[in-house]
Structure 1
């Protein structure tokens, strides 16, 4: 007949294999749940111009419509480039959903056994690039040149009429006085005064 101490040891020995078999199964189940529960965040960038090159935070992500994954919520800078169109740069704000805040984020990404897809779709419209300013200036200059060729010639002022047999009117030159030659000892004449000064200067009393 076995003692009570031996019975306890026997029960413990019988229960240890059962616990050892459950532990790997629990770890496997938790591993499957951890792999299954995740959040797939993805951008979809569309444009009115197909094949426009898309950049997100200065990183190329392909031609529109383009698909790109993102890891965090917040602000992103989206740039679209296409020859013949003006480059477009926009700053977009990606708002986080409710399950991205603690403590729900841990449950959504680790414990939740289903796949969560968070897709953000954005549409951008490109405009054709305007002509350069040099072309506008050249076109304006050519239009002014053509306009100048069509203007009539300016009219010249009419000459004064002269009677038949009369001598033509000659311009009257001012009185010219010869200048003395160098070394002749001549003295230059005084300047001509139309209104000579009086000989007597009036005296002003105190």
Structure 2
């Protein structure tokens, strides 16, 4: 395959990924929209008569999934990021009442007290969390420009772009499937700082200019 074609294709791929990361406050907006689920095992005799009893198998799929994840988690807690993904069977607010944020669920023959509530916080807090990914996107965009000009390896641009895609796959868009939010921020910060140091090193000790 022609080297020029590889450079252009890698650069365009990197630009698209870079744009998605520079736009992290929009792409990762789910981070600040949290539907939280908390469960605690209870005896049948301990439940409040005013609290409705829900049977797990009768719930919609998204509600079953959230309840199951909360029951199976070590701390009895699960978060769904993004209001569009929050099961609409439940109520989410700072205020809980029987049937509105407070339920009893029968799951595999056991009774669980379930509380659902709204989490998250001020948007600017999450913008700070997203800064490492915005910075990575800016660096990636500059690498893409250098790649297009033939000053960077197409392979380097492609690998860095794939790493940018991994940020999305590991982040709030997919409810942090492998690492928790704090570790996700730490990972993004470490990778971004490492990339910046590597580029500065290249500029100082190789023929590559700073992108």
TM-score calculated relative to the size of structure 2: 0.23
Higher helix proportion = 2
Higher strand proportion = 1
Which structure's CA Rg is the greater one? 1
